[in-house]
Structure 1
Amino acid sequence: MTSRFMLIFAAISGFIFVALGAFGAHVLSKTMGAVEMGWIQTGLEYQAFHTLAILGLAVAMQRRISIWFY
């Protein structure tokens, strides 16, 4: 797996995060209750954290930083 692939994957993941967040805020908030919106918010938070982690790994791979967990 190359750093370029991971950067592209992080960009796509970030786009999906923003798109689903906007969709949830503008469309789903009218039809879902507070509990369901909480589920969506939790899922989007996980998506954001994982996107940042993938981005960090891609940058580390690009700079050839030796990281013990990858």
Structure 2
Amino acid sequence: MKKFIVTGALHGFLAVALGAFGAHALKEVLDDYSRGIWETAVQYQMFQATAILIIGLLMSSKILGEVKQLNLAGIFFNLGIVFFSGSLYVLAISGVKVLGAITPIGGVLFLTGWVLIIVAALKHAR
């Protein structure tokens, strides 16, 4: 579906931009620990952005079509990026460690999205 192709591409774009921003503009601002947090956020954002793109392509093709589980997976990946990567970006810059408590919510959303893709494939693949 078009919305997942667009949001996946947007998240991919932002992952590249934020990765470059972290490597260059924040080079002197972040310590090694915070830089590692920033890089983790970028990596997971790009992984899930790719998954969102694939969901959009699967939904627009005749492979799986518009399957409820794929739609939910795309939503969960989008929300997961906000909770997981978003909390890590803010944590890396602010150093407010309580934000680390939000990150696992995003991780659970990611895991749920992957399980939903498996379910969609098992239930609806021809």
Do Structure 1 and Structure 2 share a fold, with TM-score over 0.5?
Answer: yes
Aligned residues between the structures: 68
TM-score (norm 1): 0.87
Which amino acid in structure 2 is aligned with residue 11 of structure 1? A
Provide the rounded CA distance (Å) in 2 between the counterparts of 1:38 and 1:65. Answer: 38
Q: CA deviation at 1:64?
A: 2.5
| Paired-residue identity, % | 35
Counterpart of 2:47 in structure 1 is: 49
Distance (Å, rounded) in 2 between the aligned partners of 1:12 and 1:28: 22
The gaps in structure 1 that reach 5 residues or longer are: none
TM-score of the pair, normalised by structure 2: 0.50
Distance 1:15 1:31 in 2: 23
The equivalent residue for 2:63 is 65
Unaligned runs of 5+ in 2: 65-116, 121-126
Q: How does 1:1-70 map to 2 (within 5 A)?
A: 3-66=1-64, 69-70=119-120
Measured at CA, do residues 68 and 26 of structure 1 come closer, stay the same or move farther in structure 2, by a change above 3 Å? Answer: closer
When residues 40 and 68 of structure 1 are mapped into structure 2, their CA distance, relative to the original with a 3 A threshold, is: closer
Higher helix share: 2
Which gives a bigger RCO, structure 1 or 2 (Cα 8 Å, sep 6+)?
1
Amino acid of the structure 1 residue aligned with 2:11: S
The C-alpha deviation readout for 1:37-70, integer Å capped at 9, x for no partner, is: 0000111111011001101111111113126534
Task: Point out 4+ residue stretches in structure 1 off by more than 6 angstroms.
Answer: none
Q: Secondary structure in 1 aligned to 2:62?
A: coil
